[in-house]
Structure 1
């Protein structure tokens, strides 16, 4: 009986700890790219261009994609259904400031439901551009619980790092080609 009471108390303490965690999260990565923001911005403002640089695009060669709304910018919509890594999701561009800022809403349907915000910020600095990629949103109890076992910053942040490196390679190659003309 004492062991059962101790286990119940430990469970309650664990659940109280989970409930006390922050009610929001933010994952962000930045990278300096040797290209003008005018060359980088179209790669993130048009979902059709994401296939070339987004690491999630490589996770499932059989992914089913759909595009709707505007071709790029606010109102552009990208949805997909993929394997366990990709799940089922939908993104929509909500706001842009050309060559400077992009805000998206991402809705996760499978393997779990969530709604978050994604931001890209581009800061020009002497012919280079610092690109920041962030995702943030609320952390409900289940998100907090999962976060105690899976490091979201490491998992998502690692993909952001990978995507920014791919974006860098494409933009710098394009910048070098444009400079050589």
Structure 2
């Protein structure tokens, strides 16, 4: 069984207290998530808590967007958000995802990390596609959009 990790880090020029709520509340993801624009007609359903531990989000979209659920399993204010990310389409996969927030010169270092196992169809897919290249670019766009969203809300 092969495992993978995709990790991207960016320093966002803001305090962790300003960035954290945008990640800790799935309602805020529409402002910065790189996947929100893939399918404008995507259906979304929020469940559980409003934000933090127990908050959930379910989506179903076109072939590119696929479908699945995210649920916050752990939330440490201005420090860490741990998400259980489960895809149901185009193939089933469980990809634990974390966001960590660390003070850094000039702002906050935000690290977005996703891990997973390549099995079944995912293993075949992994032979042809590099997950780091494919998802990493999305993470980079997302972190950049997160920085822009924070900056826009500060002004």
Q: TM-score, normalised by structure 1?
A: 0.82
State which structure, 1 or 2, has the greater radius of gyration over its C-alpha atoms: 1
TM-superposed CA distance for 1:24, in Å, is 1.3
1:76 aligns with 2:32: no
Deviations 1:84-116 (A, max 9, x none): 111111000000110010000011111101111
Q: 2:28 aligns to what?
A: 49
**Contact 1:78/1:91 (8 A) holds in 2:** yes
Counterpart check, 1:128 vs 2:96: no
| Alpha-carbon offset, residue 125 of structure 1 | 2.0
Equivalent residue number for residue 65 of structure 1:
44
Alignment RMSD (CA, Å): 1.2
CA distance in 1, matches of 2:101, 2:66: 29
Contact 1:33–1:172 (Cα < 8 Å) also in 2:
no
CA distance in 2, matches of 1:152, 1:86: 16
The structure carrying a bigger helix percent of its residues is 1
Please report the TM-score for the alignment, with normalisation by the length of structure 2. Answer: 0.95
- Runs of 4+ in structure 1 off by over 2 angstroms are 141-145, 172-175
The Cα shift of 1:151 comes to: 1.5
Alignment gaps of 5+ in structure 2: none
For 1:56, what is the secondary structure of its paired residue?
Answer: coil
What residue in structure 2 maps to residue 145 of structure 1? 124
- Provide the rounded CA distance (Å) in 2 between the counterparts of 1:165 and 1:40: 12
Structure 1: state its 5+ residue gaps. Answer: 1-21
* Number of equivalent positions: 155
Aligned to 1:165: 144
Q: Does the residue aligned with 2:50 lie in a helix, a strand or coil?
A: coil
**Contact 1:26–1:134 (CA under 8 A) maintained in structure 2:** yes
